[in-house]
């Protein structure tokens, strides 16, 4: 990691959030709402979820009070940063017809907002890097949003029972792709380290003190310890080969009996990027618009060709999702589509566990 300027020990995040807002950023970070720690726009550091943690399990999520006042000791927010970089619905163009019948087509002109993402974990840094590769065509809509984003990462010291970023190689330490990285320590206090020139500029304006070797060692140890406390793991070996060889596995029938095909996993997944386009017209026929919105391989209409869907059964749809995520993503983009954040495990109402399914496929392959 580039460390042009020395790390700083912060006793509060208030000046950081204030500085970002002064710079014109809309600060998005974790906050408590509707019985969950969600990502939302923060007016100040007071909105952070101090003293809140979460207990998660497959298909279950509960807020829990913490004694230590920590603000980043939680995992698996119901939405990922994808919601801001690749929004659920986005206008592509509008067309209007004048009195003479001539059409004018307009693309949205306004500049995308400048977001500062506060509290991006290593798994989600990796997810953003995955989206960059998939959607980041220079000059495109994603790229225009992405280049305006400032990232304050948080090294993970509190993995959840559903986490497996150590197995995907994404975390728990933030290695690159951030402007500033924080490690939350008892207090809470925050070790802040810069990862970019923008981070340097930000850090130089914050009140703090040199951390000293003890604090840095404490921070590194807390992150390293997190790697050993992940509740889950993926099978050893080449997952691309495993999935390619599993097309007729009996496990697909087993999981399809539990799968609701509701699509929740794909929407909470920080890398699932599929969309469809929708056209609408007003009653007068004077205006039309085309929107892009999230779609999902679990939607029966997603694979609709003439006469019907290609993937009609739940087994076919689950197989498509898992095979792409862990297998053919490698062929398409040169890496895995799974970062180990565990969201699909937590937010699946039926509690289907991607690691359990992958391990079951691996076990079946050895039979």
Applying CB under 8 A, the residues found at the interface with another protein are 33-36, 38, 59-62, 78-79, 83, 88-89, 257-264, 267-268, 278-285, 288, 293-294, 296, 298-301, 312, 314, 346-351
Residue 279: CB minimum distance to another protein, A:
6
171, 165 contact by CB (below 8 A): yes
Residue 344: CB minimum distance to another protein, A:
12
* Cross-strand partners of 292: 90, 277
Residue 302: CB minimum distance to another protein, A:
9
Q: For residue 345, what are the CA distances in angstroms to 29, 54, 160, 176, 352? A: 22, 14, 11, 26, 6
Considering the complex, state which of residue 135 and residue 219 has its C-beta at the smaller distance from another protein.
135
Residue 350: CB minimum distance to another protein, A:
5
Considering the complex, state which of residue 232 and residue 311 has its C-beta at the smaller distance from another protein.
311
Considering the complex, state which of residue 202 and residue 259 has its C-beta at the smaller distance from another protein.
259
Residue 278: CB minimum distance to another protein, A:
5
Considering the complex, state which of residue 244 and residue 300 has its C-beta at the smaller distance from another protein.
300
Residue corresponding to tokens 């790229």: 143
CA–CA dist 74, 335 (Å, integer): 27
Considering the complex, state which of residue 144 and residue 293 has its C-beta at the smaller distance from another protein.
293
Residue 31: CB minimum distance to another protein, A:
12
Considering the complex, state which of residue 5 and residue 95 has its C-beta at the smaller distance from another protein.
95
Q: Is the dihedral of CA 337, 342, 346, 351 positive or negative?
A: positive
* Cross-strand partners of 65: 52
CA–CA dist 12, 17 (Å, integer): 10
3-state secondary structure 339-359: CCCCHHHHCCCCCCCHHHHHH
b/e map 130-145, b = 16+ CB within 10 Å: bbeebbeeeeebbeeb
Considering the complex, state which of residue 203 and residue 265 has its C-beta at the smaller distance from another protein.
265
Considering the complex, state which of residue 82 and residue 324 has its C-beta at the smaller distance from another protein.
82
> Residues 6 or more apart from 227 whose CB is under 8 A from it?
166, 171, 172
Q: Is the dihedral of CA 18, 19, 21, 25 positive or negative?
A: negative
Residue 176: CB minimum distance to another protein, A:
29
116, 90 contact by CB (below 8 A): no
Cβ-in-10-Å burial (0-12, 13-18, 19+) of 316 comes to: middle
């Amino acid at each position: 990691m580039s460390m042009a300027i020395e790390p700083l020990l912060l006793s509060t995040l208030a000046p950081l959030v204030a500085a970002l807002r002064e710079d014109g950023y809309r600060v998005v970070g974790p906050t408590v709402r509707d019985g969950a720690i969600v990502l939302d726009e923060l007016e100040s550091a007071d909105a952070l979820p101090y003293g809140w943690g979460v207990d998660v399990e497959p298909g279950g999520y509960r807020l829990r009070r913490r004694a230590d006042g920590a603000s980043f000791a939680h995992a698996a927010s119901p939405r990922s940063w994808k919601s801001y970089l690749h929004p659920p619905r986005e206008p592509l163009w509008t067309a209007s017809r004048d009195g003479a019948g001539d059409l004018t087509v307009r693309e949205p002109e306004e500049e995308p907002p400048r977001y500062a993402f506060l509290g991006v974990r290593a798994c989600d840094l990796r997810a953003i890097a995955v989206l960059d590769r998939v959607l980041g065509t220079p000059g495109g809509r994603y790229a225009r949003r992405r280049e305006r984003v400032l990232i304050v990462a948080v090294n993970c010291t509190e993995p959840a029972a559903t986490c497996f970023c150590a197995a995907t190689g994404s975390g728990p330490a933030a290695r690159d792709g951030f402007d500033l990285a924080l490690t939350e320590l008892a207090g809470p206090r925050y070790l802040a380290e810069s990862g970019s020139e923008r981070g340097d500029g930000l850090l130089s304006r914050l009140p703090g003190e040199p951390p000293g070797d003890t604090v840095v060692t404490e921070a590194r140890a807390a992150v390293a310890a997190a790697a050993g406390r992940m509740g889950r793991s993926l099978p050893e070996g080449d997952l691309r080969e495993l999935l390619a060889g599993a097309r007729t596995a009996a496990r697909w029938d087993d999981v399809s009996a539990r799968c609701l095909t509701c699509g929740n996993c794909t929407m909470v997944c920080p890398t699932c990027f599929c969309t469809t386009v929708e056209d609408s017209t007003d009653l007068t026929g004077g205006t039309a618009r085309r929107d892009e919105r999230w779609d999902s391989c679990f939607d029966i209409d997603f694979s609709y060709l003439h006469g019907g869907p290609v993937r009609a059964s739940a087994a076919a749809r689950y197989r498509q999702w898992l095979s792409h995520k862990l297998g053919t993503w490698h062929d398409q983009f040169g890496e895995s589509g799974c970062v180990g954040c565990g969201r699909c495990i937590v937010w699946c109402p039926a509690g289907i566990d991607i690691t359990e399914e992958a391990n079951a496929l691996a076990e079946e392959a050895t039979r």
